[in-house]
Chain A
Amino acid sequence: MNLILHNARLIDPEAGTEALGGLRISDGKIAEILDQTIDVNSQACRTKQIHLIDCNGKHLAPGIVDVGVKVCEPGERHKESYRTAGLAAAAGGVTTMVTRPDTIPAIDSPEILEFVTRRAAQDAPINIRHMAALTRGRNGREMVEIGFLRDAGAVAFTDCDRVVQDTKVFTRCLTYAHSLGALVIAHPQEPLLSEGAAATSGKFASLRGLPAVSPMAEKLELERDLSLVEMTGACYHADALSTAAALPALERAKQNGLDVTAGVNIHHLTLNELDVGDYRTFFKLKPPLRSEDDRLAMVEAVASGLIDMIGSFHTPQDEESKRLPFEEAASGAVGLETLLPAALRLYHAGAIDLPTLFRALAYNPARRLGLDSGRLCVGAPADLVLFDTNVPFVLNRFQLHSKSKNTPFDGQRMQGKVLATFVGGKQIFGGES
């Protein structure tokens, strides 16, 4: 069946343009890009084979490709399952979710990868790809079966928030992964300096009496990793960057032609350390929230393209693990559903235009992981999000689809809402527009 979405503001992150027009979708793929002069009353359009959707001049963009989502299967299904994560993603305009392997047990063998692949296919309406651990049990000692896991569909390898401390082990992982063309993702934070930290060192952490880590811990570890990338030639993605101090090293590495990309979490673009206020544990993240200067530097780095991707870093935590003294409370926040409204804060603030935003939300992540989505061009999968940049609403965490409701945006005013989400040309979220 053919589907035509017309009268939309098309955001093309690849070309960096935004224009009125429409899309014709056939067999789950974009078959034609229509300009605004299309006559929807023409003979062809009135035939029954074509389903028409009028977008009323709202924005239509490639669906979000969110790298680094935690779905708590296996191990902690009470926090999030593939079904609930899928619903949350659909409601958030995320059409491809790339999951983290920091489950219990870690996704470190082809068998576990097969289990989650099956669970994802059964229960979620969106595209799901999986990352695998880089070392067994994420223990930083022996590398996983990178070849087998890659054959089984792992799109990248990462130990998530655990840093492979042993430089020799990490070097071998990078070398081996490089031989297979596999992408290695790290969250660079010097582990000994960061140990036990619940905040970023500075006036606020000192006032609250919280154990804190210097922002320099990120730079330290990133510089180590980049030296090893230079040594091994590996493809490397530094995720969850959050500090201005780390950016010059990243810029240098890119200028020197290393195969390096970087990502930032939406929370580090929209919140700062002061949001923690009186020990609000929903704002406890890893890495911790940073200063306003760091936040601004990250926003600028996304705008300039130095930081390639924005992710939700969706980390579900149940109430019990958050209703604790700040130091004891678990880190992380859910983000699938709030990713786009939060990112639109940057657009409304005039910091980032929409094509650049979707470059970081969809085009760059898809390209880095070798997926063909994230683009508005003929032949690309019809994974799309239709949204209104202006609808105001106050977020109520109990209305989120995730099983866990730990969002830092609870009660906050947001501007911009997803109207409809399409995966493979099929509408999976939103009413008829």
Chain B
Amino acid sequence: MTFEAKHLLGIEYLKPEEIRTVLELADQYVDLNRRTQKHSEALIGLTQINMFFENSTRTQASFELAGKRLGADVMNMSMQASSIKKGESLIDTALTLNAMHPDILVVRHPQSGAVNLLAEKVNCAVLNAGDGRHEHPTQALLDALTIQRAKGRLHRLSVAICGDIAHSRVARSNILLLGKMENRVRLIGPPTLMPAGIADFGVEVFDDMRAGLEGVDVVMMLRLQRERMDGGFIPSEREYYHRFGLDAEKLARAKADAIVMHPGPMNRGVEIDGTLADDINRSVIQEQVEMGVAVRMAAMDLLARNLRTSKQEGIYV
């Protein structure tokens, strides 16, 4: 079992073996979570602080539950309402919290790289719960676990990621993870929502959804933010749905057993057809939520093990 990372800042910094380690352990936590008695003591005595500088219900709940099931003392801080408004810098906030000796910091921030900056200034394990357009590593890991359980493997699959790639940290983390695990990745979306230089990431880019979905094993839809729909990036919601919304007819181009994923929250009728999202034969959207808790438990457990080892060795003083 290999997992050497001190923080989980992004998929970019993980080796394929480390990804496999997280997924193996998460698989075990899935079983634990399905029992009535869901408690483990992996994080007993440790303090976990969730710092969310950006609104989040789902991710924050998932991290909170993961921490509590592992026995950590969990505290949620909604940073939008706090000292940031009083002009305190990110580093000062980090140092203040650091003085309270947390063991695990879970951070979401609206700016790319902010979590990296914070991780340099504290001496506990830092988990990136999404920073700007940069990365959202636990989302990519839970997607990977979902795919692995549905498809029986996590390599040599053809995966289509569709929608607003340019503004999506979920897309970036998934592209990196799927690439590291040797899958073929296709990106589908209007060119205005495609980041520059994306073809250099070793992916295939399509602006025709039907062509892009041809023969894929996995269809991963992304959320389209409301503020991007009003003519700035795409002409209108209905034109977007017509060209890039996932419906049964477009999905028919994919393999017959292709699964449909979405990181949530969904805009039914904008990027995905409502009936399709609820189709238990195709959609694994609810499984993704379930895997989310397990993956976060696994990631925090592994980081805590490294934390304990390094504290014994005196690295963290």
Contact = CB atoms under 8 A, between A and B. Distances in A.
B262 interface: no
A219 to B, nearest CB: 16
A252 interface: no
B65 interface: no
B200 A209 contact: no
Interface stretch (B38-46, B132-140, B232-240): B132-140
Given A201-B196, A279-B117, A208 B112 contact: yes
Given A324-B89, A325-B109, A327-B111, A207 B132 contact: no
Given A210-B112, A278-B116, A202 B90 contact: no
A202 B169 CA distance: 16
A317 to B, nearest CB: 14
B196 A202 contact: yes
B198 A206 contact: yes
A66 B111 CA distance: 35
B25 to A, nearest CB: 27
B132 to A, nearest CB: 5
B91 interface: yes
Interface string B83-123: 00000011100000000000000000101111011000000
Given A279-B113, A279-B116, A203 B201 contact: yes
Interface in A323-343: 323-328
B128 to A, nearest CB: 11
Contact of A209 (B90, B172, B201): B172
Contact of B197 (A202, A279, A326): A202
A327 B110 CA distance: 10
Given A279-B117, A327-B111, A205 B134 contact: no
A220 to B, nearest CB: 16
Given A207-B12, A209-B134, A279-B116, A325 B111 contact: yes
B217 interface: no
Contacts of A347: none
B195 interface: yes
A209 B133 contact: yes
A151 interface: no
Interface in A214-240: 214
Nearest to A278: B116
Given A209-B133, A209-B134, A325 B112 contact: yes
Interface string A179-218: 0000000000000000000000111111111111010000
B197 A203 contact: yes
Contacts of B169: 209
A205 B196 contact: yes
B196 A326 contact: no
A232 B112 CA distance: 44
- Interface footprint category on B: 20 to 34
A206 B109 CA distance: 17
Contacts of A208: 112-113, 134
Contacts of B200: 202-203
Contacts of A327: 111-113, 132
B53 to A, nearest CB: 10
Contacts of B109: 325
Nearest to B199: A203
A203 B200 CA distance: 6
Contacts of A326: 111-113, 117
B141 to A, nearest CB: 18
A293 interface: no
The residue in A205, A279, A323, A324 that gathers the most chain B C-beta atoms within 10 A of its C-beta is A279
A325 B113 contact: yes
Nearest to A326: B113
A166 interface: no
Contacts of A205: 195-197
A327 B114 CA distance: 9
B89 A214 contact: no
A104 B18 CA distance: 51
B131 interface: yes
A178 B137 CA distance: 57
B90 A206 contact: no
A201 B197 contact: yes
Contacts of B116: 278-279
A320 interface: yes
B116 to A, nearest CB: 5
A323 B94 CA distance: 12
A209 B117 contact: no
Contacts of A214: 196
B111 A328 contact: yes
Contacts of A212: 196
Contacts of B135: 209
Contacts of B196: 201-203, 205-206, 212, 214
Q: Which 5 A-B pairs have the closest CB atoms?
A: A209-B134, A209-B133, A279-B113, A203-B197, A201-B196
8 contacts: A202-B197, A207-B12, A207-B172, A210-B133, A323-B89, A324-B89, A324-B117, A325-B112
Given A206-B172, A207-B201, A324-B89, 15 more contacts: A201-B197, A203-B198, A203-B201, A205-B195, A206-B197, A208-B112, A209-B113, A209-B134, A210-B112, A212-B196, A278-B113, A278-B116, A325-B90, A325-B109, A327-B132
